[in-house]
Copies of this chain bind each other. A is one copy, B any other.
Amino acid sequence: MNGSDSSTTDSASGTGTGRRRSEATRDAILTAARERFASDGYERATIRAVAKDAGIDPSMVMRYYGNKEGLFAAAVTVDLKLPDLTALPREELGRALVTHFLDMWEENEVLTALLRVGVTNDAGAERMQAIFRAQLLPTAHAVCPDPEQVPTRAALCATQLLGLALTRYVLRLPPAVTLPREEAVAWLAPTIQRYLTAAHPAA
C-alpha cells in the first residue's frame, strides 16, 4: 500500500557491520519526529520542520518512511516495560506502578508524543488502545482476583495515570507540575492499589 519497503538489499557494507550507511540519518529523523510530535501534536508537527531539525531534505523523510503516517508509526513505538507484579508484595502494587509510570514518562518524550497525537488523531488513539490492550491488560490480569473485572480495573488505573500525565506533562497545570514526585506517588499509590485489588464497591 505504501512505499516504505525496507527490502532494499540490506547489509550494504562489506566490513561486516549490518548498519546501513543511512542509519544515522534515519535515527536523526526519528528523534526529531518524536520531539516535534511531543511538543506540537500531529498536525503542527510538519514534515518540513522534522527534516530541518534532522538537518536533511523533506523528501528524505518521504523516501525512508513513505508518508507522514508512516513516520509517526516508526517514530512512536511504545514499550511500557511493565515489571512483573507477581514478584512484589501485594500491598506495594500501587506504589510500584505509579513510580514506574513516572519513570517512563520522564525517560523520554515518546509518551508525551503519543498522548498529544492520540487526542486529535484517530491512528494515535487506536495506538493507545492497542498499548492498553497488549501491555496494561495482561499486567492487570496477573494481579487481579476476578478475570472478569480486569478490563474495568485496568481502565480505572489508566484514567488516573493518564490523568496525571495529562495535567503534569501536557496541560502543565501549575500545581500538578510543581507537585514533588514523591508526593504524587504518595497520593496516587493508594488509588491504584484500590483499583487493582480492592473489592468491587457497591454501585
Contacts and interface: CB of A to CB of B under 8 A. Distances in A.
Interface of A: 40-44, 115-116, 118-120, 125, 128-129, 132, 151-152, 154-156, 158-164, 166-168, 170-176, 179-180, 182-183, 185-188, 190-191, 194-195, 201-203
A68 B187 CA distance: 40
Nearest to A189: B201
Contact of A183 (B42, B176, B203): B203
A179 B152 contact: yes
A185 B6 CA distance: 49
Nearest to A172: B125
A102 B162 CA distance: 18
Main secondary structure of the interface of A (DSSP, over half): helix
A128 B190 contact: no
Contact of A201 (B166, B171, B187, B202): B187
Nearest to A117: B120
A44 to B, nearest CB: 6
A172 B125 CA distance: 8
Contact of A194 (B132, B171, B190): B190
A180 to B, nearest CB: 8
Contacts of A190: 194, 201
Contacts of A167: 155, 158-159, 162
Shortest 5 CB-CB contacts between residues of A and residues of B: A163-B163, A41-B120, A155-B175, A43-B43, A151-B175
A131 to B, nearest CB: 10
B201 A186 contact: yes
Contacts of A152: 175, 179, 183
A162 B160 contact: no
B203 A186 contact: yes
A43 B116 CA distance: 13
A44 B117 CA distance: 13
